[in-house]
Amino acid sequence: MCAVGTFSGATFAYDNRKYWSGEMALTLGLVGGAAILYVLGAVLLIFRTTVGRVLVIIDSVLGVIYVVAMVDHTGKPAFLILATPVLIALVLAAMKPTGRWIAAKRTVHNRRM
Domain definitions of the chain by residue range: 2-103
Asked if 52 and 22 count as a contact pair (C-beta separation under 8 A), the reply is: no
Helix, strand, or coil (residue 62): helix
CA 77 to chain centre: 20
Q: What is the pTM of this model?
A: 0.77
pLDDT value at position 26? 82
**What's the rounded mean pLDDT across residues 40-45?**
93
C-alpha to C-alpha distance for 48 and 67, rounded to whole angstroms: 28
CA angle (35 as vertex; 33, 39 as ends), nearest 5: 120
**What's the rounded mean pLDDT across residues 33-53?**
91
pLDDT value at position 108? 47
With a cut of 70, say whether residue 43 has pLDDT above it: yes
pLDDT value at position 89? 92
**What's the rounded mean pLDDT across residues 42-58?**
93
